[in-house]
Amino acid sequence: MGEEEGKVWVPDEEARKLGAEVSMKALEALADAGQPVYDLKRHRGLELRAVAREVVRELGALAGLEFSLKGVDRVLDKMISKVPLIRTVLSEEELPVEGEERFVCFLAVHPGNYRKLSERAGVIAATAREELDLDHTPFVLVRNDLCLRRDEFGVLVLHASEVVQERPGFDVEVLVNEDLKPTMIKLARFIASTVATRTAHLKFPYVIVKESLLVDEGEFRVRVKFEEGGAG
């Protein structure tokens, strides 16, 4: 239920759907408990220009700033030629500081597209800053998301004050029969990423997979356990 891409396990469609079901069950439980759960703006196509346009569009809408798609394309072309410099500059950027007018952009992708887009996150961030004339480079964070197909990406832009920098104050526990345990263990980090993105956490929750005789073959149960006094 998966494939190797550059020695990194990537879930196949069957495994992805299984992990997406688990992720959505966890998110439903969190929403029922009063935790903030966000919807992503989903888009088709993974060409860099299209991704950059949508990131700028969402940032511009949140910040109330104007932009032009032609301007995005022009700035993007310029930034691509300056990739080494951009990587150096962004490596010196700190995580969003509370109280500053800064933005965080979660860029969610299918696990098979993670490497390709994560290598371009700096270019996208620098393009958004210049086109929107922002005081600070937005923090563009590429995340694996099991709820997205190969030809999709999702965008969630928030003020830095809305993003939780501490580790989530909850764990996700998945009970399975022995037949699903090996696959679910492999899926755990992708589930953690999916849940962290849609709850606006910079750090991932722990996803604990347990074998249970009370769960039938091919089935699973999801429980969210909150830590006493933990950050939501």
- The full set of domains in the chain, from first to last, is 10-36+165-226 (3.30.2320.50), 41-162 (no CATH)
pLDDT by 10s per residue, the chain, length 232: 666 555 789 999 999 999 999 999 999 999 999 999 999 999 999 999 999 999 999 999 999 998 887 788 888 888 877 655 445 444 444 455 555 568 999 999 999 999 999 988 989 999 999 999 998 889 999 999 999 999 999 999 999 999 998 999 999 999 999 999 999 999 999 999 999 999 999 999 999 999 999 999 999 999 999 987 443 3
Q: Which residue, 139, 117, 122, 134, is CA-closest to 200?
A: 139
Give just the sign of the alpha carbon dihedral 31, 35, 39, 40: negative
pTM of the model: 0.89
Question: Which helix (H) or strand (E) is 104 found in, with range?
Answer: strand 103-109
